[in-house]
Amino acid sequence: MTGKIIIVSAPSGCGKSTIINALLERGDIDLQFSVSATSRKPRGEEKHGIHYYFLTEEEFRERISRDEFVEYEEVYAGRFYGTLKSEIDRITGDGHNVVLDIDVKGAMNVKQLYGDRALTLFIMPPSIDELRRRLEGRATDAPEVIDERVRKAAYELEFAPHYDAVVVNDNLAVAVEDTHKVITDFLSK
């Protein structure tokens, strides 16, 4: 049996990693995280092989030419992110479900590839002002990077209607519960 694919997107700073980690820690859903490759530098406590495979731009391009990605995007100028075929195959091949934390374009592409085997979930911030406050509170990005992420959020929010489900992350505990329900409903189908 092969596992299913849960695709989660949200504007950066919305709390997507916090929600995914809460679900993984809770441990009552058979779900494993697909570690993406990126050419951006590690931030805060991020570790190679756990949060991302951190590559140079040259290494990233080599992997593109070896056709190692299910999808990849230049999410921010000069910064590439991609889902590795090896991650999806390793996890779903063993029958486990996989969760992808990827941007809006990547999400649409993966959904197209996997169809009903994949669920797309969009996490919304309560407001753009609150999104900025969270990015500032996280204190891992320079002010110009925060500006870039907030600017991009408006564009990303336009994709929400194309997702199978939308959860608003206002109160964190409620958002974790809502996300848990959406995913368990999908997996039980």
Contacts of 110 (CB under 8 A, 6+ apart): 5, 7, 70, 71, 83, 100, 102, 118
* Residue closer to ligand ADP, measured from CB, 64 or 174: 174
Q: Which parts of 98-157 interact with ligand ADP (CB under 6 A)?
A: 134, 137-138
Query: Out of ligand 5GP, ligand ADP, none, which partner does residue 87 contact, by CB within 5 to 8 A per kind?
Result: none
* Residue closer to ligand 5GP, measured from CB, 28 or 137: 137
Binding footprint of ligand ADP, residue count (CB under 6 A): 14
Question: Roughly what angle, to the nearest 10 degrees, separates helices 143-157 and 128-138?
Answer: 150
DSSP 101: E
SS3 content of the chain, % helix, strand, coil (to 5): 45, 25, 30
Note the residues at the interface with ligand 5GP (CB under 6 A). 9, 12, 36, 40, 71, 73, 75, 81-83, 101-103, 106
Q: Which residues bind ligand ADP (CB under 6 A)?
A: 10, 12-18, 134, 137-138, 169, 172, 175
